[in-house]
Amino acid sequence: MISLLKVEKVTVKYGVIPAVRELELEVGRGQIVALLGANGAGKTTTLKTIVGVLRPARGRIFYDGKDITSLPAPQRVRLGIALVPEGRGIFNRLTVRENLLLGAYHRRDQGGVLQDLEEVYRLFPRLKERENQIAGTLSGGEQQMLAIGRGLMSRPRLMLLDEPSLGLAPLVVRELYTLIRRIRESGVTILLVEQSAPMAIGVADYVYVLETGMVKIAGTPREVESLEEVKKVYLGG
């Protein structure tokens, strides 16, 4: 397996308190990797470190074979890493279209951007309808679609999704996961963070379970599903 992302013994601290300790994680090209764990396990911290908002105290991060540990966030976006933040993180006061265009902020190919905008609108006809509406007025599901659409506008090679199903109705979550599969089929590698495990395990090629900032369990979905503690804690049985 050629890995697109490799996190090597990364420790991230808030002040003196480590939120993530000696984390090892690998995402292969074209894979969907799920990162599970309870609240406060360090999932979001991990994503923020990968995208460059947080700096690790120790350890290194490799992307596409290159060490990106000290690269600032905007430059990582340029390399094709896109984070779809938790709670959507869209710009509420901007229009849908403006949000999407900002996803492509670093790109210089005007034509390509507009083409991708049409592509996103094809994927989410609702967004096309609401193109000039202020994003803050969209429903929760639409906002999530917008956040993902905005992520796609950067033409990412690696997409980090932080709890995309949070606060969405079950039907919308199902739609969302169909979409995640389609995005992977289009060649984008995905690292998916979720608290609700069954759907995530369902689409994943590989699963990590974090606990208090450390990898507790790692394995293929089948391996992970069969573990008693995973069943008990994450699969509700």
Partner 1 sequence: MFSLSYFLQQSMNGVILGCIYALLALGMTVVYGILRLINFAHGALITLGAFFMYFVFFRLGLPFVAALFLVLGFGGVMGLVLDLVAYRKLRGGPEVALLITSLGFYTFIENLTKLIVSPQPYAFKTPEFLATLYRTPYLTFRTVDVFIILSSLLIMLAFHLFVKRTKLGIAMRATAENLEIANLMGIEVNRVISVAFVLGSAIAAFTGFLWGAKYGQISYDMGFLTGVKAFVAVVVGGVGSIPGAMLGGFVLGLAEVLSIAVLPTRFAEYRDGIVFAILILVLLIRPSGIMGIREEVRV
150 binds partner 1 (CB under 8 A): yes
* Residue from 41, 83, 176, 191 in contact with partner 1 (CB under 8 A): 83
Choose one: 56-64, 100-108, 184-192, 201-209; the region binding partner 1 (CB under 8 A): 100-108
- In the list 26, 58, 62, 102, the residue contacting partner 1 (rule: CB under 8 A) is 102
Residue 57 C-beta: closest distance to partner 1, Å: 18
Q: Scanning residues 36 to 65, which ones bind partner 1 (CB under 8 A)? A: 51, 53
What is the DSSP secondary-structure string of the chain?
Answer: --EEEEEEEEEEEETTEEEEEEEEEEEETT-EEEEEE-TTSSHHHHHHHHHTSS--SEEEEEETTEE-TT--HHHHHHTTEEEE-TT----TTSBHHHHHHHHTTT---HHHHHHHHHHHHHH-HHHHHTTTSBGGGS-HHHHHHHHHHHHHTT--SEEEEESTTTT--HHHHHHHHHHHHHHHHTT-EEEEEESSHHHHHHH-SEEEEEETTEEEEEE-HHHHHT-HHHHHHHS--
Q: Does 103 bind partner 1 (CB under 8 A)?
A: yes
Which one of the spans 28-36, 71-79, 122-130, 171-179 is the region binding partner 1 (CB under 8 A)?
71-79
- Counting residues that bind partner 1 (by CB under 8 A) gives 22
The binding site for partner 1 (CB under 8 A) comprises 51, 53, 73-74, 77-78, 83, 85, 89-94, 98, 101-103, 105-106, 150, 154
